[in-house]
Structure 1
Amino acid sequence: MGIKESDIKQDAACTPGLSNFFLKDHPDENKWADCVHCGMCLESCPTYELTSQEQHSPRGRVHLIKSVAEGKITVNEQFMDPVFACLDCRACTTACPAGVDVGGLIEEARGQIRQAIPLTGLKGMVSKFFLKGLFPHQNRLNSLGSILRFYQKSGMQKVVRKTKLIKIMPQHLVDMEAIMPEVNKPVRKKYKNQNVIKSKGKTRNEVSFLTGCVMDVMFSDINEATINVLTRNGNDVIIPNKQTCCGALHVHAGDRETGRKLAKQNIEAFNDSDKVIVNAAGCGYALKEYPELFREDPEWHEKAEKFAAKVEDISKYLYDTGYEKPKTELNTRITYHDACHLAHGQGVRQEPRDILLDIPGVEMVHMPNSDRCCGSAGIYNITNPEMASAVLDSKMENVPEDVDMISMGNPGCMLQMAMGVQKHGRNQKIVHTIQLLDWAYQKEDGKEGL
């Protein structure tokens, strides 16, 4: 059921060109002005590929957003469905000759939808619990991590699986539990008493490290590998205590206000940093987009622009500053998946591939359409499980079968691709690019490595 125009707040219709949008956080007209509906974006869009429906294409979504601004349609459920069905993978912007920022428009439109149609009932409670009650609070996330470690190490996980108690959950959550990585101690707890983690040799640079929220709970081993690689290559590493969740999931969900609060906290936490290193593509792109959140706040917009200029993905940072090339062979066949927010968002494509190719014994196998979305898209695989599963199936058709590992640079992709491997009866190992470099160093030092 849609909402009536009379239900829209009075300030929604105060300016020409924004007749059915709220004034606060309204979509930026400049983002759709260059769209001529040429259709160059259609083949790049996973949801259009699967549905063949115009409203589920990039140009269709741009047209809908523009139509609301022109007063032709209202912010209602019919508008909401295609906007929230978008993966926000940014592939359309890469394909667009004019570089129309469809992803930015989608996020702004989601903010409008949540102002007009707030989540209520069970969905509202779940959203509030995770987005406001859990992700912004590292202590609560650490407690969750402790529970998960107990679940895995106490034998409870084996009992739950063996007795099939797990089947009481929805199937997509059962699939996610089946590929849940081993949960270890977060690096922020491990290094909480160290102001600086010193380089292992001559210090060349000092960098700050965003450990992430879920990243440090579910993938602390990748954070540990990142610290090992940075310190081995002459970097002193600082982990600011006051850093918090990047806010990507909040912005994707339309909660731009919480996204701004988290952005302000991170901007202040890294105020004295010259370089902010990130090993999660989605987080890195969210940090780089902070200026967009403060488009209407000149003071914080300037601060956000200065902060965004400091942010760099770990693979690009290593490539640009130089790194020690391993000398010991790993002897493995690898293919590489381009995380959307690394390739389309940050333009980082060749750097991680070059790092992998610099590891002796690594044979790279080309993946067709390697920059096609895997369906993870933040929490899209939870909120839109059927579409996410279909996108994943399409992705897996392009993954070479004759490889030992699939490498990538984003934790969400790692979980989604692990589900794909399991679903399609494969046996490839899912790895982060920096893990492989760290394993090569470890093997060179006589440690276990792989």
Structure 2
Amino acid sequence: MSVKEKQALPCTSSLGNYLWHDPPQESKWADCVHCGMCLESCPTYEQSGEEQHSPRGRVYLIKAVAEGKLNVDEHFAEPVFSCLDCRACTTACPVDIDVGGLIEEARGQIRQALPLKGWKGAVNKFFLHGVFPHQNRLRSLGGLLRFYQKSGMQKVVRKTKLIQIMPKHLAEMESIMPEVKGSVRNKFNTDIKAKSETKQQVAMLTGCVMDVFFSDINEATINVLTHNGNDVSIPKNQTCCGALHVHAGDREMGRKLAKQNIEAFENEEKVIVNAAGCGCMMKEYGELFRDEPEWKERAEKFGEKVVDIAKHLHDTGYEKPKVNMNMRITYHDACHLAHGQGVRKEPREILLDIPGVEMVHMPNADRCCGSAGIYNITNPEMADAVLKSKMENIPEDVEMISMGNPGCMIQMALGVQKYGRNQKIVHTVQLLDWAYQKEEGDKNNGSH
């Protein structure tokens, strides 16, 4: 069935000028009184000063379409897709208006009314449908990128300035591309035993972007879990979490991926995630199935099992390193970890438990960096302005910036390069793993 034929079908859940399945829910905006408490929390409003680019402005527009006052058109799409979906407004809101949920539902309506066409549509379909949902294709892509980096092609491209034929923001992203090291799913078995006495069994999401560009963080996660008495399983049939799809308005593919993950992890007691955006999406799978009661119940049960690596370690206990690491660091709150999952103190306490770590306070640590999935690719100008604001808050006298999300790591690495900084960007679990490794190395060398 073609897109036009689908759009022509009547929808029993239509609302005002939302004519397709799964419209924004009235319950999510009903308590909004446009008080303005959200304004100072919004990065796009901070940059633009325009009401339609504020949380309450977007809520008003979404409500106006439901009331038949506005149409689902380009004028509506622009402010909805310019939102970072960082959830800071919900944290600031006195009645917890779920602006992020409304934005994602509105994007689903927009993409049915205004499907992407031309090269944007082709690129969107290639990556969101042709690559991310398929583990084998992702690993193949990772292999190609590794060849590009290791064969000398990357050096030639950069030295001859061929990279300059790319759009500026993509060329900048290429310049800070992490070293591709190979998937952990190729390196580890599906079941990995704890290094000491087994305390519990957990499963782990390896992710899509995470296992291509940040497989070293996945490996560090496995090392830390097994060091602390966790048997780790890596289900073979798991897939992309679907966050990028839902953020892009492709809720149908988001549901398809969610179902696959729910089935893959159904028999597991706990699902460990080291990417804030993935964890938040998976905990909210129930939102995708409000018209499918059976799947909604399964999705909500699944969401209760999903836990961030830092929170899991903090809540279940972990061995505090004894070796001195001697480093000055600061911590950035990934939006979907702090605002989306409420995980703030746990990563900080883990870092402070590493001897020799001096934590330097970052003002507005929970302010978005501008990554927001692929926002820094689709909205480069706004993402750059938000990044500049973020970098102004990062202390200069630190060696490392720690965080818990791969998108943030890429964006912050870009900021460090762009603004002449020299800090190393690290994931919180990496620092704990390095401390364990150093301690083990000292023991093997007979050091005390």
2:420 paired with 1:421: no
In 1, are the aligned partners of 2:20 and 2:112 still within 8 Å (CA)?
no
**1:134: Cα distance to partner?**
0.5
Q: 1:292 aligns with which of 280, 287, 290?
A: 287
Residue identity in the other structure for 1:364: M
Whether the aligned pair in 2 keeps the contact of 1:195 and 1:238 (CA below 8 Å) is: yes
**1 CA distance for matches of 2:310 and 2:31?**
33
1:20-66 deviation per Cα after TM superposition (whole angstroms, max 9, x unaligned): 01241111100000100000000000000000000000000000000
CA distance in structure 2 between the partners assigned to 1:275 and 1:35 by the alignment:
35
Which residue of structure 1 aligns with residue 30 of structure 2? 33
- Percent identity between matched residues is 76
Moved more, 331-340 or 161-170: 161-170
Q: What does residue 320 of structure 1 align with?
A: 315
Match for residue 65 of structure 2 among 63, 68, 88: 68
Once the two structures are superposed, the pairs formed by residues 245-394 of structure 1 within 5 Å of their partners are 245-394=240-389
Q: C-alpha separation between the residues in 2 aligned to 1:404 and 1:19?
A: 53
Cα deviations by residue, 1:135-180 (Å, 9 ceiling, x for unpaired): 0011111111111111111111111111111111111111111111
Structure 2: distance between partners of 1:140 and 1:195: 19
Going from structure 1 to structure 2, the CA distance change for 1:395 and 1:406 (only over 3 Å counts) comes to same
In the TM superposition, residue 232 of structure 1 has moved relative to its aligned partner by 0.2
Alpha-carbon distance in structure 2 between the residues aligned to 1:34 and 1:310: 30
Q: Which runs of 4+ in 1 moved over 4 A?
A: 7-10
Kindly indicate whether residue 155 of structure 2 is the aligned counterpart of residue 158 of structure 1.
yes
Inter-partner Cα distance in structure 2 for 1:305 and 1:188: 27
Instruction: Quote the offset at 1:11 in angstroms.
Output: 3.0
Between the aligned partners of 1:19 and 1:282, the Cα distance in structure 2 is 31
Deviates more, 1:396-405 or 1:154-163: 154-163
In 2, distance between residues paired with 1:132 and 1:100? 31
Alignment-mate amino acid for residue 317 of structure 1:
H
Deviation string, structure 1 residues 263-317 (Cα, Å, up to 9, x no partner): 0000000011000000000000000110000011101000001100000000000
Contact 2:404 2:428 in 1 (8 A): yes
Distance (Å, rounded) in 1 between the aligned partners of 2:108 and 2:13: 18
| 3-state SS, counterpart of residue 309 of structure 1 | helix
Corresponding residue number in structure 2 for 1:93: 90
RMSD, matched Cα: 1.3
- Distance across 2 between alignment mates of 1:409 and 1:89: 14
SS in structure 1 of the partner of residue 441 of structure 2 = coil
Cα distance change, pair 30–331 in 1 and its aligned pair in 2 (3 A): same
CA distance, structure 1, for counterparts of residue 88 and residue 414 of structure 2: 22
Question: In 2, are the aligned partners of 1:9 and 1:22 still within 8 Å (CA)?
Answer: no
- Contact 1:186–1:216 (CA<8 Å) still a contact in 2? yes
User: d(CA) in 1 for partners of 2:149 and 2:64?
Assistant: 51
Q: Which residue of 1 aligns with 2:10?
A: 11
- d(CA) in 1 for partners of 2:271, 2:161: 44
For 1:19 and 1:157, how far apart are their aligned partners in 2?
A: 52
Per the TM alignment, residue 8 of structure 1 is displaced from its structure 2 partner at its CA by 7.3
- Asked whether the 8 Å contact 2:179–2:213 carries over to 1, the reply is yes
- One-letter amino acid matched to 1:141: L
Question: 2:104 aligned with 1:114, yes or no?
Answer: no
Distance 1:296 1:15, change over 3 A: closer
Residue 201 of structure 2 is matched in structure 1 by 206
Q: Hey, what's the Cα distance between the residues in 2 that align with 1:118 and 1:149?
A: 33
Alignment map for 1:216-227 (pairs within 5 Å)? 216-227=211-222
Tell me the distance in 2 between the aligned counterparts of 1:365 and 1:123: 42
Match of 1:376, SS?
coil
The separation in 1 between residues aligned to 2:10 and 2:363, in whole angstroms, is: 49
Report deviation, 1:195: 3.6
Q: Which runs of 5+ in 1 are unaligned?
A: 1-6
**Structure 2 counterpart of 1:97, one-letter code:** P
Alignment gaps of 5+ in structure 2: 1-5
Q: Secondary structure at the match of 2:201?
A: strand
1:189 positional shift: 1.2
Could you tell me how far apart the structure 2 residues matched to 1:8 and 1:73 are? Answer: 18
1:82 to 2:79 alignment? yes
- Residue 400 of structure 1 aligns with which residue? 395
Alpha-carbon distance in 1 for matches of 2:351, 2:16: 51
Residue 182 of structure 1 aligns with an amino acid whose one-letter code is E
CA contact (8 A) 1:248 1:259 kept: yes
Alignment partners' CA distance in 2, 1:20 and 1:155: 54
Q: Which amino acid aligns with 1:111?
A: G
Q: Which amino acid is the alignment partner of residue 258 of structure 1?
A: M
Partner of 1:4: none
Aligned AA (2:379): N
Q: Relative to structure 2, which stretch is displaced further, 156-165 or 285-294? A: 156-165
2:125 equivalent to 1:128? yes
Structure 2 CA distance for aligned equivalents of residues 221 and 184 of structure 1: 7
Look up the equivalent residue of 1:130 and give its one-letter code: F
Q: Secondary structure at the match of 2:71?
A: coil
8 Å CA contact retained: 2:53, 2:79:
yes
Alpha-carbon distance between aligned partners in 2 of 1:319 and 1:234, rounded to the nearest angstrom:
14
- 1:113: Cα distance to partner? 0.3
CA deviation string 1:70-115 (max 9, x = no partner) = 0001100000000000000000000000000000000000000011
One-letter amino acid matched to 1:116:
A
- Deviation sequence 1:1-28 (CA, Å, 0-9, x none): xxxxxx974736x678x11012411111
Length-normalised TM-score, structure 1: 0.96
TM-score (norm 2): 0.96
Quote the Cα distance in structure 2 between the aligned partners of 1:186 and 1:292: 31
Letter matched to residue 244 of structure 2: L
Pair 1:442-2:442 in alignment = no
